[in-house]
Structure 1
Amino acid sequence: MTIDLGALDDFESGRAYPVDVPGRRLVLVRLDDQVYVLSDRCSHEDFPLSEGEVDVVDRTIECARHGATFALDTGEPQSLPATHPVERWDAVVEEGRVKVVGQ
Structure 2
Amino acid sequence: MSGAWTFVCAGAELLPGEMKSVFDETTGTPILVLNLDGELYALEDVCSHEDFELSAGIFEPADGTIECVLHGAKFDVRDGRALCAPAYEPVAKFPVKREDDGSVWTRDDRE
Aligned residues: 103
| Equivalent residue number for residue 71 of structure 1 | 76
Instruction: Check if 1:56 corresponds to 2:56.
Output: no
CA contact (8 A) 1:5 1:19 kept: yes
CA deviation after TM superposition for structure 1 residue 102, in Å = 3.8
**Percent identical:** 34
* Counterpart residue number, 2:98: 93
SS of match in other structure, 1:83: coil
Q: Partner of 1:13 in structure 2?
A: 16
Please give the TM-score of this superposition, normalised by the length of structure 2: 0.84
What's the CA shift for 1:93? Answer: 1.5
Alignment of 1:2-41 (within 5 A): 2-22=5-25, 23-41=28-46
**Partner of 1:50: helix, strand, or coil?**
helix
Secondary structure at the counterpart of residue 55 of structure 2: helix
TM-score calculated relative to the size of structure 1: 0.90
Bigger fraction of residues in strand: 1
How big is the shift at 1:15?
2.5
Q: Which runs of 5+ in 1 are unaligned?
A: none
